[in-house]
Structure 1
Amino acid sequence: MGRTVDLRMTGKRALVTGSSSGLGSAIAKALAAEGAEVVVHGRDAARAEAVAKEIEADGGTAFVAIGDLGTDAGADEVALAAGAVDVLVNNVGVFDMSKGWTDTTSADWADLYNTNVISGVRMIQRLVPSMRERRWGRVVQISSVMAVMPLAVQPHYNATNAARDNLSLSLARELRESGVTSNVVAPGGILTPASKARLTAVGHANGLSGTWEEMEPEVVRAVAPNDIGRIARPEEIASAVAYLASPVADFLTGITLRFDGNWYSAA
């Protein structure tokens, strides 16, 4: 059965930062499947081009923009390659669960803030003015439930997500009545190959056995309990981003969509 909702993305151009792998790749593919021209971004040209080729093989249209958004010069390069876009998805972000309060230096805090927050600000400053001129656009920040349910570990990461939520709300107010919206999608856990391997190891360490499908509910209860009882798939989160990026979501701005299965406890 085909789609029952047309998100009306045909003719729109979207830049997804950090889309050469993982969730960013899934978002780029979802937007392309809805008819948007997608600019795949990364720092590694071969990886970004591989994602673009996958999109094109599935009948979509994709371009590539290479650059380090941690610098103004890199952001300039990416903005130039992307051109005038209708949709900006700020997905670039890193985390490190091995870090805690006692071993996170001030340099660690500054570096992570630059990557997770200022990189998005750089792209907003470069790409949103033209959206405003055209009276239509979408900015979607990828955040995390850690913004409101922080763990004791990786405090610098948790804080950057709170900052992303806040800047998105401020941007929505700045763009009021302009036709450009600003929203956040905040996942809990995401089942990627890397997280699956890590969580499988956690399951084994806690005496669980069997396939991932058999262990997943127990691992979720132990690590990140939620009312759905499993971990979100990248494609599910990508669909939520595609909706907020579409003309169908014209009346939504300033929201943070928690995509965490109603996570009710932080481990």
Structure 2
Amino acid sequence: MDLEINDKTALVTGGSKGIGYGIAEALAKEGCELIICARHQEELEEAADQLRGYGSNVLSVVADLTKSSDIDRLVAEAQKEFGTIDILINSAGTIGQNGTFEETPLDEWRSLFDLNLFAVVELTQKIIPAMQEQQWGRIINVSSENGTQPYPDMIHYSASKGALDNFSKSLSKQYASEGILVNTISPAFIETPLVDNMMEQMAEEQGISKEQVIENFLSNDRPHIELERPGTIQEVGAVAAFLASEKASFVNGSNYRIDGGSVAAV
């Protein structure tokens, strides 16, 4: 299916690996020009080279999105290189340290919200004016199943994603009349380097294989994933690319769960 976005430019935050890379890859395959940003230059350049292999023109920018100066520089470099940013994918985020409410200090809350929410707000503020000018834009915010189905040992992460869900819905109501559509995707248990590292660490601590850890996690912690496997970044990327396209021209303010059924609610 031709998604009709081969003349569009997309900015993907956290685009060097994991879900961000999966989305960038899907957009590259559709012919989008890309700006990807992340904090680590070596990983970023490696990702950019891989994406160029699909024939996409790719600009990579090292940026820490918790710093306003880095956000300003990112937007300036992107606009200098490509002009308007048509598609904004806010994928950069952090899980933070797991713990109960009593175990989670206020500084941990602040640092997590700085990236998971406030960086999204600030970057979106800088990108929307150009979208308004051309009367077309797509904004896709990467949330999590935790925004709908919170877990007590991830209380600050769950709260940040719930806030992101509400921000996205509010934003969608304000800008739809100007051709700017805002949607959210909510993945759960996706096979990424972060998840792989977590599973490997648990395997080492428990003295069992990573495969057994994954099986136990699915049975005990995510029993509603009836597919009984992690998702892939390509599966997330496919949904995001659709939402970024002309084919999704009547989709606005929605939250697409890419979670294998993990969220138990309707």
For residues 228-258 of structure 1, the C-alpha deviation after alignment (integer angstroms, 9 at most, x for no partner) is: 2211111111111111111111100000111
Using the alignment, how far apart are the partners of 1:109 and 1:218 within structure 2?
Answer: 29
Distance 1:264 1:112, change over 3 A: closer
Matches within 5 A, 1:224-243: 224-225=222-223, 226-243=225-242
Counterparts of 1:215 and 1:158 in 2: how far apart (Å)?
23
Number of corresponding residues: 260
User: What is aligned with 2:145?
Assistant: 145
SS in 1 for 2:260: coil
Unaligned 5+ segments in structure 1 are none
Q: Give the drift of 1:178.
A: 1.0
Gap runs ≥5 in structure 2: none
The residue type equivalent to 1:137 in the other structure is G
Evaluate the alpha carbon distance shift between residue 80 and residue 174 of structure 1 in structure 2; reply closer, same or farther with a 3 A threshold. same
Q: How does 1:46-57 map to 2 (within 5 A)?
A: 46-57=42-53
Aligned with 2:178: secondary structure? coil
Tell me how far apart the structure 1 counterparts of residues 30 and 218 of structure 2 sit (CA, whole Å): 32
Determine the structure 2 residue equivalent to 1:108: 108
Distance in 2 (CA, whole Å) between partners of 1:162 and 1:216 is 26
What is the alpha-carbon root mean square deviation over aligned residues? 2.1
Identity in percent: 30
Q: Tell me how far apart the structure 2 counterparts of residues 28 and 264 of structure 1 sit (CA, whole Å).
A: 26
Amino acid at match of 2:91: N
Aligned to 2:99: 99
CA distance in 2, matches of 1:118, 1:82: 20
Which amino acid in the other structure matches residue 155 of structure 1? I
Q: 1:187 corresponds to which residue?
A: 187
Letter in 2 for 1:18: G
| 2:218 corresponds to | 220
Deviations 1:154-211 (A, max 9, x none): 21111000011000001001102111100000011111234234335646877865x7
Structure 2 equivalent of residue 8 of structure 1? 4
Please give the alpha-carbon distance, in whole angstroms, between the structure 2 residues aligned to 1:39 and 1:197.
Answer: 27
Cα gap change, 1:168/1:263 in structure 2, threshold over 3 Å: closer, same or farther?
same
Amino acid at match of 2:25: K
1:9-61 CA-partner distances (Å, limit 9, x unpaired): 11100000111121111111111111100111112223212211111123222
Partner of 1:64: 60
Task: Give the structure 2 partner of residue 261 of structure 1.
Answer: 260
Structure 1 CA distance for aligned equivalents of residues 96 and 33 of structure 2: 33
* Closer, same or farther: CA 264–175 of 1 in aligned 2, 3 Å: closer
- TM norm structure 2: 0.90
Matched, 1:41 2:40: no
Q: Which amino acid aligns with 1:55?
A: L
Distance 2:216 2:102 in 1: 30
Task: Report the AA paired with residue 186 of structure 2.
Answer: A
Kindly indicate whether the alpha-carbon contact (under 8 Å) linking 2:112 and 2:160 is maintained by their aligned counterparts in 1: yes
Classify the secondary structure of the residue corresponding to 1:258.
strand
Q: Are 1:147 and 1:161, in contact at CA under 8 Å, matched by a contact in 2?
A: yes
Q: Is the 1:66–1:77 contact (alpha carbons within 8 Å) kept by the matching residues of 2? A: no
